[in-house]
């Protein structure tokens, strides 16, 4: 093409794409889509996949120290679910033409982003409760609307992911509930965990709307359905009610319902800290990446064995044909 004459394939593709979005229908892997839409989805889905995989670490850290066999088996199931979420999401991203190797290489090279929340340490057992209740809770608020994302494989992956996330949230809530009704020391431990995870979990929704460059386009493409601030406000409303059941408090005396805007408001968040953590300078960034790298290297023999097995099966089929 000379760049001046419109490409008829692209024109027809764009028209079809626009019609699909206008109907609020789904774009599928083989459909034509604008390059920017594809790039944006690869970025979002791969970051999401990395978050699930890196997110296994802060909790896996407590599997050997879980206070009972029941707690241990629940936590193991939860961490395994997160591995599954990562795998669905890598598969969804692969349908857009990027390979899992490329995504994994970017992650271990420290070039890919993942949710900043997983760079905070888990210092007590109560953190398992606060993570389940707040971090998985925030993930649900974010991901339920993504079940309707315009890209088919992403939206469908989210349906199952959300079902599992609600189990994660309940198990976390239940850990906190038990601690909050336990000894004074256990109760203090639960409150301390809620205090530490509150602000980072609110920041999981991303920067405020006026500082979120990709949001507008993402909403126009029917990927994102609500703005960061809308989702954050909804999440605060959920915490306010549930923390009463726990008999604990939120470390924020500015939480209030704004009758005019019908939204929940909260105190200021430290966005400089958010940016620092995202830039790789959070409390556990180096440790998380190092662990991921080691696991990747230690898993090389499994990948090689799978390739060798696949080759063997193909040779057998050829010989039989």
Cβ–Cβ < 8 Å for 116, 278? yes
Shortest Å, Cβ 51 to Fe ion: 8
Shortest Å, Cβ 153 to Fe ion: 17
Q: Residue 14 or residue 47: which is nearer to Fe ion going by CB?
A: 47
Shortest Å, Cβ 164 to Fe ion: 6
Q: Residue 21 or residue 76: which is nearer to Fe ion going by CB?
A: 76
Q: Residue 51 or residue 233: which is nearer to Fe ion going by CB?
A: 51
Q: Residue 163 or residue 316: which is nearer to Fe ion going by CB?
A: 163
**What does the DSSP 8-state code read for residue 182?**
S
Shortest Å, Cβ 91 to Fe ion: 15
Coil, strand, or helix at residue 158? helix
Tell me the angle at which helices 184-203 and 228-246 cross, rounded to the nearest 10 degrees: 170
Shortest Å, Cβ 47 to Fe ion: 13
Determine the Cα–Cα distance for residues 186 and 248; give it in Å rounded to an integer: 12
Q: Residue 16 or residue 113: which is nearer to Fe ion going by CB?
A: 113
Determine the Cα–Cα distance for residues 56 and 169; give it in Å rounded to an integer: 15
Residues that bind Fe ion (CB under 5 A): 52, 82, 85, 136, 165, 168
Shortest Å, Cβ 73 to Fe ion: 16
Polymer length of the chain: 321
Q: Residue 165 or residue 252: which is nearer to Fe ion going by CB?
A: 165
CB atoms within 10 A of CB 266: 19
Q: Residue 168 or residue 266: which is nearer to Fe ion going by CB?
A: 168
CA proximity to 71, closest of 183, 179, 180: 179
Determine the Cα–Cα distance for residues 309 and 57; give it in Å rounded to an integer: 30
Shortest Å, Cβ 65 to Fe ion: 20
Q: Which helix (H) or strand (E) holds 225?
A: none
Neighbour-count burial for 99-134, b at 16+ CB within 10 Å, e otherwise: eeeebbeebbeeebbbbbbbbbebebbbbbbbbbbb
């Amino acid at each position: 093409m000379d760049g001046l004459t419109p490409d008829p394939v692209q024109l027809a593709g764009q028209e079809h794409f626009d019609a699909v979005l206008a109907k609020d229908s789904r774009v599928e892997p083989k459909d034509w889509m604008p390059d920017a839409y594809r790039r944006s989805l690869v970025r979002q889905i791969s970051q999401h996949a990395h978050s699930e995989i890196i997110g296994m670490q802060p909790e896996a850290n407590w599997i050997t120290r879980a206070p009972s066999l029941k707690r241990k088996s629940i936590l193991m199931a939860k961490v395994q679910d997160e591995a599954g979420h990562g795998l669905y999401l890598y598969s969804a991203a692969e349908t857009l033409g990027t390979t899992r190797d490329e995504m994994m290489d970017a992650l271990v090279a420290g070039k890919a982003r993942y949710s900043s929340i997983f760079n905070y340490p888990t210092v007590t057992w109560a953190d398992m409760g606060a993570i389940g209740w707040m971090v998985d809770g925030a993930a649900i608020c974010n991901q339920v609307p993504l079940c309707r994302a315009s890209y088919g494989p992403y939206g469908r992956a989210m349906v199952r992911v959300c079902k599992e996330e609600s189990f994660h949230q309940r198990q976390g809530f239940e850990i906190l509930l038990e601690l909050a009704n336990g000894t004074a020391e256990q109760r203090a431990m639960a409150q301390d965990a809620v205090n530490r995870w509150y602000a980072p979990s609110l920041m999981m929704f991303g920067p405020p709307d006026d500082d979120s460059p990709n949001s507008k386009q993402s909403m126009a493409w029917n990927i994102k359905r609500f703005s960061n601030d809308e989702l954050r406000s909804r999440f605060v409303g959920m915490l306010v009610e549930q923390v009463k059941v726990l008999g604990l408090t939120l470390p924020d005396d500015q939480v209030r319902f704004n009758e005019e805007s019908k939204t929940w408001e909260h105190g200021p968040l430290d966005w400089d800290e958010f940016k620092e953590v995202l830039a790789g300078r959070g409390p556990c960034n180096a440790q998380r990446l190092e662990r991921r790298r080691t696991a990747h290297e230690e898993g090389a023999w499994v990948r090689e064995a799978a390739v060798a097995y696949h080759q063997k099966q193909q040779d057998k089929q050829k010989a039989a044909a």
